[in-house]
Homo-oligomer: A and B are copies of this chain.
Amino acid sequence: MTSPEPSPDAKTDAPGSPSAPARIAADLVITHCTALVHDEHEQIGFVEDATVVVREGRIQALTTGPVDLPAAERIDARGQVAMPGLVNCHTHTPMVTLRGIAEDLPVEQWFNDVVWPIESNLQDRDVELGARLACAELIRGGVTCFADHYFSMDTVAAVTAESGLRANLGQAFFSSQGAEGRERSLDFALRHRDTAGGRITTSLAPHAPYTVDDADLAATARSAQEHGLPVHLHAAENRDQSDTSLARHGRTPIEVLAGAGLLDTDLLIAHGTGIMERDLPVLARARGRVAVASAPRGYLRFAWPTTTPVQALRELGIPVGLATDGAASNNSLDVWESMALTALTQKFTGADPRRLTSRQALHHATLQSARAVGLGERIGSLAPGRAADIILVDLTGPHTQPVHDLAATLVHSVRAGDVRTTIVDGRILMRDRELLTLDVPSVVQEMNERMPALIDRSHGRRIQDYDT
């Protein structure tokens, strides 16, 4: 283990010494857990009987055995695994409001007949309630950071701040909104970046190459360079989109991004199941930090013929983060399920049961997801100096025993409901399954009161057409 122990000062200073506490007391000490760590080659390992010391929002030390250190708060995490909080690398949090409303449909009907007509009714208050419910679900499922791409993002930013979660937020736009859409996305990104004590970062958020034209994509790339902002968009979501792009423009969606200069920015591509063989050298030449977010449940649900080409992307050194997309297509914001399904679908579509081992899945869930959302140096590992975004996962349930291979247990047996405690920047957001920053029943009640107006489609409007 490379983790330093607490400094000798910290270990020898007596608790309660009059001048000491402000200097040496930890904010939080977690004891008796098994800690998931990364070695210097980023291989995943586990430290038994670990103690995690948190001070000023960061991990100060990860050591073994007892630590004689005063602490404002202590958690005895016997029988639990401490691991980096999960990251949901692509979602639309307010869409939890539409969970289950458009089932068993192809994606074009899902968009055109249900989701986009309803979204033309969206009010800020709907977004606020949806974001609040989503944050509750994320915290309960051990997600400490999410990348959100939606509308009314000032509202989502306010809810994020209130919830205590970390997020990368982007105000989505279409070219059909004119220059105003793109400008609002930039304005949002500049106003909110590094707010909420640094927990909120921002991205420019064009919707997709099939809804944002080349000129707007190029202008987005220029804004990103000028302001040092990342870009988060949907691209090559499925094979149909790539085929249509080739037929219409002679270029794949990835080639469109390259032509617009977006591969020279820090770019997060959602889905990428339509990434083609010819796109791989294009991605290899990218000068920006390019990453892909994979949300495999939706690909199965929509019966898309391919999934994110994780192995090919790994060979290019492109991080693939785990995601759920919105709950209107995924039915939950359960990143544990995304992790398991990523492993299972990679094995199945690659016709190779050795593909995507549990340790690789955990690498996607930790460092790769952190990099995908531009926080590769701040989160994703329980290493001293990193943000104290920590979850405690209970392994005492019969469904997680016995443990022969803890990585396999975490990927294939643990369920979101096994997360007992969720911590962001050292602050406890859920303790023993109790949410400390959000009140679910009041949100659900008001959401249901507003629902008839929200889901009314009699007007015949939609915010956009799905026509790739």
Chain B nearest CB from A440 CB (Å) reads 5
- A327-363 near B? 1/0 per residue, CB < 8 Å: 1000111100000000011011011111101100000
Is A448 an interface residue, CB under 8 A from the partner?
yes
Chain B nearest CB from A160 CB (Å) reads 15
Closest to A296 in B: B344
Q: Are A300 and B348 in contact (CB under 8 A)?
A: yes
Is A11 an interface residue, CB under 8 A from the partner?
no
Q: Are B402 and A103 in contact (CB under 8 A)?
A: no
Q: Are B404 and A98 in contact (CB under 8 A)?
A: yes
Is A325 an interface residue, CB under 8 A from the partner?
no
Residues of B contacting A99 in the complex (Cβ-Cβ under 8 angstroms): 401-402, 404, 409, 413
Q: Are A396 and B358 in contact (CB under 8 A)?
A: no
Q: Are A100 and B404 in contact (CB under 8 A)?
A: yes
Q: Which of A391-437 contact B (CB under 8 A)?
A: 396-399, 401-405, 408-409, 412-413, 415-418
Is A204 an interface residue, CB under 8 A from the partner?
no
- A347-388 near B? 1/0 per residue, CB < 8 Å: 110111111011000000000000000000000000000000
Q: Which of B136, B303, B396, B415 contacts A398 (CB 8 A)?
A: B136
CA separation between A351 and B455, bound complex, in Å?
Answer: 29
Residues of B contacting A416 in the complex (Cβ-Cβ under 8 angstroms): 399, 415
Q: Are A402 and B444 in contact (CB under 8 A)?
A: yes
Closest to A298 in B: B344
Q: Are A332 and B100 in contact (CB under 8 A)?
A: no
Is A447 an interface residue, CB under 8 A from the partner?
yes
Interface size grouping (class) on chain A: 35 or more
Q: Are A408 and B105 in contact (CB under 8 A)?
A: no
Is A14 an interface residue, CB under 8 A from the partner?
no
Is A141 an interface residue, CB under 8 A from the partner?
yes
Q: Which of B140, B397, B451 contacts A140 (CB 8 A)?
A: B397
Q: Are B297 and A354 in contact (CB under 8 A)?
A: no
CA separation between A52 and B334, bound complex, in Å?
Answer: 32
A-B CB contact pairs (8 Å), 18 listed: A97-B402, A98-B404, A99-B402, A100-B413, A101-B405, A104-B347, A137-B397, A137-B399, A140-B397, A301-B347, A303-B350, A303-B355, A331-B408, A333-B399, A334-B399, A399-B416, A401-B444, A415-B416
Q: Are A354 and B104 in contact (CB under 8 A)?
A: yes
Chain B nearest CB from A299 CB (Å) reads 8
Q: Are B401 and A357 in contact (CB under 8 A)?
A: no
Is A441 an interface residue, CB under 8 A from the partner?
yes
Q: Which of B103, B140, B353, B448 contacts A106 (CB 8 A)?
A: B353
Chain B nearest CB from A43 CB (Å) reads 16
Chain B nearest CB from A432 CB (Å) reads 13
Q: Are A405 and B100 in contact (CB under 8 A)?
A: yes
Q: Are B354 and A448 in contact (CB under 8 A)?
A: no
Q: Are A301 and B415 in contact (CB under 8 A)?
A: no
CA separation between A333 and B412, bound complex, in Å?
Answer: 11
Counting from the closest, the 3 A-B pairs by CB-CB distance are A417-B417, A331-B412, A100-B408
Q: Are B401 and A440 in contact (CB under 8 A)?
A: yes
Q: Please list the residues of chain A having a beta carbon within 8 angstroms of any beta carbon in chain B.
A: 96-101, 103-107, 133-134, 136-137, 140-141, 297, 299-305, 327, 331-334, 344-345, 347-348, 350-355, 357-358, 396-399, 401-405, 408-409, 412-413, 415-418, 440-441, 444, 447-448, 451, 455
Interface centre among A301, A348, A399 (most CB of B within 10 A): A399
Residues of B contacting A140 in the complex (Cβ-Cβ under 8 angstroms): 397-399
CA separation between A413 and B328, bound complex, in Å?
Answer: 11
CA separation between A44 and B295, bound complex, in Å?
Answer: 30
CA separation between A285 and B143, bound complex, in Å?
Answer: 52
Q: Are A405 and B103 in contact (CB under 8 A)?
A: yes
Q: Are A352 and B303 in contact (CB under 8 A)?
A: yes
Q: Are B417 and A103 in contact (CB under 8 A)?
A: no
Task: Using A332-B412, A412-B331 as known contacts, say yes or no to A300 and B347 having CB atoms under 8 A apart.
Answer: yes
CA separation between A51 and B444, bound complex, in Å?
Answer: 24
Closest to A405 in B: B100
Residues of B contacting A302 in the complex (Cβ-Cβ under 8 angstroms): 347, 353
CA separation between A134 and B358, bound complex, in Å?
Answer: 23
Residues of B contacting A107 in the complex (Cβ-Cβ under 8 angstroms): 353
Q: Which of B100, B441, B448 contacts A409 (CB 8 A)?
A: B100
Task: Using A303-B347, A305-B351, A417-B415 as known contacts, say yes or no to A401 and B101 having CB atoms under 8 A apart.
Answer: no
Q: Which of B101, B105, B418 contacts A353 (CB 8 A)?
A: B105
Q: Are B301 and A344 in contact (CB under 8 A)?
A: yes
